[in-house]
Structure 1
Amino acid sequence: MVPIIATIRDALAGYLAQQKMTINQFAGQSGINSGTLSRLIHGQQPIAMNHLERITRAMGLPEDHFYSLYVEECFDHSPPTWRRLRPFIVRSAELGRLDCIEQVVQQLLEKLTYAPMLFEVAEGLFQEGLWQAAELLYKNVSDSEKYQNSERLALCQYRLFRIALGDDQARNLQAAHIFECYLDKLDEADQLDGIKHLVNVYYSLHKWEKADKLAQDMLHLATLRYNLQRQSNRRTGEEKKPEKPLCFYIYYSHLMRASICEEHNDYKSALKFVSLYTDTSWIQKDDKEAKRTVTQFQEWGKANTLLYQVMSGKQEVLLEYIEHISTQRDELFVALSNILTSANRYGWNVDHVLERFADYIPYQTYDTEFGGYNQQIMSDQHTKFLAELAAYHLNNKRKEGIDYILQSLESSARINNESTVIKCADLFGKHQDQADEEAQAQYNLQIGAYL
């Protein structure tokens, strides 16, 4: 008859009987004091996490083998204590045992006094990149405090917004709409970072007016904080700081507004914003981070000054732009995309450019001095680039353009980019005479799946 295992103690007692081991022998095998082990087996002492780890390892079982039973151990067989539960939640997150975290959290949040402690754990998991577990905690804490209107509730929603962002543009839009309701409840430092992420999302969704309004909000808030910091003699060491130097947000606002002007083909206005994010006359704090910020935006300003001339139709500037950008490996894909757009607009032949920078055509991540390009913007950019590449080859009577239409369709469907799907459908309709039966079948399949 197979023994019924109701507790970790039952499992341990059964193991000792099966292996014909004494408590002293297992104490030596597990590294747990024999007296402590005896008390654990007889239910006279709660099982701590380090005891659980040693028992499991000594029995030759996977680390999380008893995790479901340990939840019961923490609540049903002894009073719950944060000293045991916190390390259990963290380790469950590391091992992907979200089911155990959910069980613990549901029972803990029957008392709202645990909400701040769970939030603190969620923050640690978020910083460690354990976003699935962090998301579970943030959602539960948020639900428990949904009527509190607190900064902690707003922070939960901000983190959930960050976690939700991915390739699906429809999901990104929904996440942005939810988070915006909590934006003004955040500390100003978190507001700056929250606005920056919102600007990126709305820009990637081609919602230019919304992105522009948020960029202006970021400029206003960052300028206020910068001037206050510069004029005040008080100590600011205890104040919460945003992820970047304050001058970054001021410059970034101008950069994004220039990019929005670029999308509207208003290169004259875009160049005015370039002059704003390359102006250093107002910079007061000359520390290392500020210098890095200024250097990066100066470089972007040089490149974009040439770019906007190219996109205005000045083909004579193209070679200078290519040579300038060729040394900036992390900027090459964005440059190549813009060159291709200009080539299609003005009927230029840029075969030599495509051949020279062929390695930058496949999708990949791109880094800058300030970290990676925003994922949502780059995914959208690459999808549009494939459509432009298709148009370029088809305009030059090359059948490979059909392949790029199919690649762009696949990418567009993955990120739910309706505007590029429409562009691809229009392109295919105009050039379907260049598609063979296999390509036609693949196109019909992809369009059917998207619709």
Structure 2
Amino acid sequence: MRKSILKSLKPDIIVEMLEMAVAFESWNKVMERADMLYQCVQAIHEEGQEFQSKGVAAPFINIERPMVYYYGFSHLMRGMAHRKMGQVDQARACIDQYADLGWMEDLDEVGMQVVQEFRHKAQMNRYALEIEAGQVQLLEEFVKFLLEHPEEWLAGLKVITESAVRHRWQIDRVLHMFGDQIQGDGKEIDSSNNDDMYHYCYQRALYEQWMGRPQEAVEFILQAIRLAYKLEMDRYFIRCTALLESLREEATGEQIGRYRMMLEEMK
């Protein structure tokens, strides 16, 4: 893409486009837009350096975040796309890029905080990538990391549970360690991060089904159905109802009653 066009683009608009592509799990589009964001901020950065070399103030750029954020976010999103497409080596390379963003010049306090946040994301995502690839020997270390960083427990459990389903690991002990966070006060699972919670509940239902606990699986799929409805994601909803229908014969009458009532409420 021509440099003049890149400089006319708005980094924050590209971030929104990226987030939309992620929501629809369109990983090729995520890759394209991550590259677009990187090229855009690189063009802005290079222009700023040219003005600086001439001793002239660079034109004002209206952006919502420090420039370093957009570099980090472009690498983060590209890494996510590689990871979702099973391209582990490429995902590792992207993580290395946003793990160390301190090379940028003139970082103020806010910029340094962004650098630290991406360094933390890199640590989390390195664990997630290796766990997903089947490195079960890292599971205990990852659990320790999650216990030390409670803000990450939901995203981490989503990774662990999905990996357990894929690689046929028994993780009851791990799930028990996070029992209080998962169950809350013993009532309905809830979270401000509905997307992560949806994926966790869906994968947990698959895990419980594999472990031969169909009624527990139904409980989690009912939670996932409600979250899919809140998220207004039809494909999530269809996926959940298909799984519940496969478990219908082993569900209790009370569970099926709740399922029917839920569907009535959602009409």
Gaps of 5+ in 2: 183-188
Matched residue, 2:115: 294
Give 1:445 shift. Answer: 4.7
8 A contact 1:413–1:421 mirrored in 2: yes
8 A contact 1:230–1:284 mirrored in 2: no
Map 1:51-450 → 2, pairs under 5 A: 188=9, 191-233=10-52, 234-236=56-58, 239-280=60-101, 282-361=103-182, 362-365=189-192, 378-398=193-213, 399-446=215-262
Output the CA distance in 2 between the equivalents of 1:220 and 1:448: 49
Output the CA distance in 1 between the equivalents of 2:220 and 2:102: 46
8 A contact 1:393–1:400 mirrored in 2: yes
Which gives a bigger RCO, structure 1 or 2 (Cα 8 Å, sep 6+)?
2
Give 1:252 shift. Answer: 0.4
Q: Pairwise CA RMSD of aligned residues?
A: 2.3
Matched residue, 1:56: none
Give 1:441 shift. Answer: 3.1
Aligned length: 252
Q: Which amino acid aligns with 1:290?
A: G
Matched residue, 2:186: none
Q: 1:363 to 1:214 in 2, by over 3 A?
A: farther
Q: 1:395 to 1:208 in 2, by over 3 A?
A: same
Give 1:187 shift. Answer: 6.6
Q: Which amino acid aligns with 2:217?
A: G
Gaps of 5+ in 1: 1-183, 366-377
Q: Which amino acid aligns with 2:228?
A: S
Output the CA distance in 1 between the equivalents of 2:240 and 2:169: 21
- Name the % identity: 20
For 1:43-101, what per-residue CA distance to the aligned partner results, in whole angstroms no more than 9, with x for missing partners? Answer: xxxxxxxxxxxxxxxxxxxxxxxxxxxxxxxxxxxxxxxxxxxxxxxxxxxxxxxxxxx
8 A contact 1:383–1:408 mirrored in 2: yes
Determine helix, strand or coil for the equivalent of 1:326: helix
- Normalising by structure 2, we get a TM-score of 0.85
Output the CA distance in 2 between the equivalents of 1:450 and 1:268: 43
For 1:317-336, what per-residue CA distance to the aligned partner results, in whole angstroms no more than 9, with x for missing partners? Answer: 11111112322221221111
8 A contact 2:154–2:196 mirrored in 1: no
Q: Which amino acid aligns with 1:414?
A: K
For 1:186-222, what per-residue CA distance to the aligned partner results, in whole angstroms no more than 9, with x for missing partners? Answer: 975xx21121122112211212222222222111111
8 A contact 1:384–1:420 mirrored in 2: no
Give 1:276 shift. Answer: 1.5
8 A contact 2:102–2:115 mirrored in 1: no
Output the CA distance in 2 between the equivalents of 1:334 and 1:239: 37
Determine helix, strand or coil for the equivalent of 2:208: helix
Give 1:256 shift. Answer: 1.1
Give 1:264 shift. Answer: 2.0
**Normalized per residue, which structure has more helix?**
2
Output the CA distance in 2 between the equivalents of 1:197 and 1:228: 24
Q: Which has the larger radius of gyration?
A: 1
8 A contact 2:191–2:197 mirrored in 1: no
